[in-house]
């Protein structure tokens, strides 16, 4: 079995590590702090993800590098992401490790109809351009024979391990509906279909791509359940915990204006289009190629509600 270095100890990095261990592989989790993730079979190391020499030392003898980093400040992506992406690509080239990048759908920009891996990149705003450039650089290096590279793309995700900062669905919909509170949406309509990716399914695909040579040279969509509106998600959660469906409303304009004092909220305006129109991910190719399917919706919701610590007894019943 192989050795794989996962950079990043957030929910996605931890999920990827668990799935790689479950496949029988050795896993190294690299973070700036070197904190032990407390996952059996995972060895922690300290690394500077923006320093190719630091990464190179960690990667010696490794089969793949899984980039599960997610810079915390959306308003600083243009500054923070490029050196990290460049360092990872350089380190992978120097060591021969394959590069698996965990990404999202920002690079597509506004679309009409479901997004497949062949949907052209027309990024809207800084964050989309950053993501599109990262993949263009990695793909160019792959096509030039300098590295093996692939990228997985998830929609907005939810589930155990998702922090309020990284999962709007956890924080604004599931967590509130589970305790009978009204759901307030920062952006978008309550009845617009949207694809929601389960976090554990991201980890499962990362592990599959890192261990299967069919993955290299293209992007793959994470297996994702059928799209659901925010109102449908809230109703599903309420039914799961035995409550009445909560009210689902968009925040009033004056409140949204006040919220934009936050730099992060202002940056989210850039991706508002994802919630103002149907935003649907097609993961057919991934399912067909790797025999992976999304976690059943009801199970994913139940696991999320339990993890959030709300309605756990009712879910268990």
Average pLDDT, stretch 232-241? 96
Q: Is the dihedral of CA 49, 52, 55, 59 positive or negative?
A: positive
Whether pLDDT at 119 is above 80: yes
CB contact set of 143 (below 8 Å; sequence gap of 6+):
217
Mean of the pLDDT values across residues 132-155? 98
Alpha carbon distance, N-terminus to C-terminus of the chain: 40
Domain ranges of the chain: 3-156+196-221, 163-194+228-275+296-316
- What mean pLDDT, rounded, does the chain reach? 91
The yes-or-no verdict on residue 289 having pLDDT over 50 is: yes
Q: Is the pLDDT of residue 157 over 60?
A: yes
pLDDT at 264: 52
From the number of C-beta atoms within 10 Å of its C-beta (0-12, 13-18, 19+), residue 28 rates as: buried
Of 142, 289, 140, give the one whose Cα is nearest residue 212. Answer: 289
Query: Could you tell me if 283 and 223 are in contact, meaning their C-beta atoms sit under 8 angstroms apart?
Result: yes
Question: Does position 250 have pLDDT exceeding 90, yes or no?
Answer: no
Q: What confidence category does residue 60 fall into, taking pLDDT thresholds of 50, 70 and 90?
A: very high
CATH class of 3-156+196-221: alpha beta
Cα distances (angstroms) measured from residue 272 to each of 24, 187, 188: 41, 6, 7
DSSP 129: H
Distance of CA 212 to the CA centre of its chain: 20
Nearest to 161 by CA among 9, 316, 4: 9
CA 144/CA 16 separation, integer angstroms: 28
Determine what percent of the chain is predicted with pLDDT higher than 70.
91
| Section 220-229 average pLDDT | 98
Confidence band for 189, pLDDT divided at 50, 70 and 90: confident
């Amino acid at each position: 079995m192989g050795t794989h270095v996962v950079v990043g100890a957030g929910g996605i990095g931890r999920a990827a590590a668990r799935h790689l261990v479950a496949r029988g592989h050795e896993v190294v989790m690299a973070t700036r702090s070197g904190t032990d993730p407390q996952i059996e079979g995972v060895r922690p190391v300290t690394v500077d993800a923006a320093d190719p020499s630091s990464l190179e030392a960690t990667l010696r003898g490794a089969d793949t590098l899984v980039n599960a980093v997610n810079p915390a400040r959306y308003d600083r992506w243009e500054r923070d992401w490029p050196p990290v992406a460049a360092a990872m690509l350089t380190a992978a080239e120097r060591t021969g490790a394959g590069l698996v990048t965990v990404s999202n759908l920002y690079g597509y920009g506004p679309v009409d109809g479901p997004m497949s891996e062949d949907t052209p990149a027309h990024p809207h705003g800084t964050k989309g351009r950053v993501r599109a450039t990262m993949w263009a650089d990695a793909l160019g290096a792959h096509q030039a024979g300098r590295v093996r590279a692939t990228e997985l793309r998830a929609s907005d995700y939810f589930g155990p391990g998702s922090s309020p900062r990284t999962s709007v669905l956890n924080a604004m919909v599931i967590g509130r509906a589970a305790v009978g509170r009204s759901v307030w949406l920062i952006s978008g309509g309550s009845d617009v279909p949207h694809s929601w990716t389960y976090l554990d399914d991201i980890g499962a695909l990362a592990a599959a791509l890192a261990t299967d040579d069919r993955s290299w040279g293209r992007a793959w969509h994470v297996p994702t359940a059928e799209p659901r509106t925010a109102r449908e998600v809230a109703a599903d959660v309420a039914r799961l915990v035995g409550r009445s469906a909560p009210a689902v409303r968009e925040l009033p304009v004056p409140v949204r204006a006040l919220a934009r004092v936050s730099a992060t909220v202002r940056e989210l305006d850039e991706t508002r289009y994802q919630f103002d129109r149907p935003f649907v991910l097609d993961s057919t190719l991934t399912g067909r190629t790797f025999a992976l399917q999304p976690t059943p919706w009801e199970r994913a919701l139940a696991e999320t509600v339990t993890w959030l610590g709300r309605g756990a007894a009712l879910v268990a019943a």
